[in-house]
Amino acid sequence: MFLSDKPIPVRDRLIVALDVADAAAARALVIQLGDAVSFYKIGLELFMAGGYFELLQWLTAQGKKVFVDLKFFDVPETVCSAVRALVGSGATFATVHGNQAIMEAAVRDKGELKILAVTVLTSLDRGDLDDLGFACDVDKLVLSRARRALEAGVDGIVSSGLEAPMIRHELGQRLLVVTPGIRPVENKPADDQKRTVDVAQAFHNGADYIVVGRPIRQAPDPRAAAEAVQATIAGVFR
């Protein structure tokens, strides 16, 4: 077992993905969830819908923490400038998805913003990596990227809970590990997440935070679903 030893408030370990159609829907869900959730991820769908930074400011004004998941990938100087522009926004995390030079550029002027490097998307499996031209197994690619992220000076990585034990075994607790693809119940056939774990398994495998989207958003009672996840997390860290 590789349980996180970082001093993170237990209820902050749940990050809810606001993958909804627009900022109004995001605000409505946040209000519905109330104090059951203190940390939110806002990604590309909301960015393209408009009102992204106004939503970020509204969330921080509500006392919420924000994970900006835009997966910066561009020439290093452009990535550095993008991160610099985000500093001071109130965001806690931001993602970068690139090579060594891109990761090094992302951390150059990050201030207190924590940079997370994406390893391998949880929607990808062995067949997808073949399509992308990667000859190695998923776990070897994840570990390679985690090592390079550590060398680049990023604060953490985004990784499936399946690979988290290997990362902890090889790299210890030096990186934050944020784990998406959480499925509290059996994965549905139409789900695009392929490498999934449940809540308790993710933390036992070494995650510091988990990202949960559809299992909470699409629940008959999203707040009750969020509180159920929080209760599981509290039980793990009791």
Q: Return all residues near 143 (Cβ < 8 A) that are at least 6 apart.
A: 163, 166, 167, 170
Catalytic residue among 6, 41, 64, 71: 71
| CA dihedral for 229, 230, 231, 235, sign (positive or negative) | positive
How far is 87 from 118, CA to CA, in rounded Å? 19
Q: Return all residues near 175 (Cβ < 8 A) that are at least 6 apart.
A: 146, 149, 150, 154, 155, 156, 157, 167
Alpha helices (H) in the chain, listed in sequence order: 23-33, 44-49, 52-61, 76-86, 100-108, 126-132, 138-152, 164-171, 199-204, 214-217, 222-236
Here the tokens at position 212 are 């949960």
* DSSP-derived secondary structure letter, 18: -
Residue whose tokens read 């210890």: 172
Q: Are 236 and 3 in contact (CB under 8 A)?
A: yes
How far is 174 from 97, CA to CA, in rounded Å? 19
List the one residue out of 181, 180, 174, 179 whose CA is nearest residue 154: 174
- 194 catalytic per annotation: no
Catalytic positions are 71
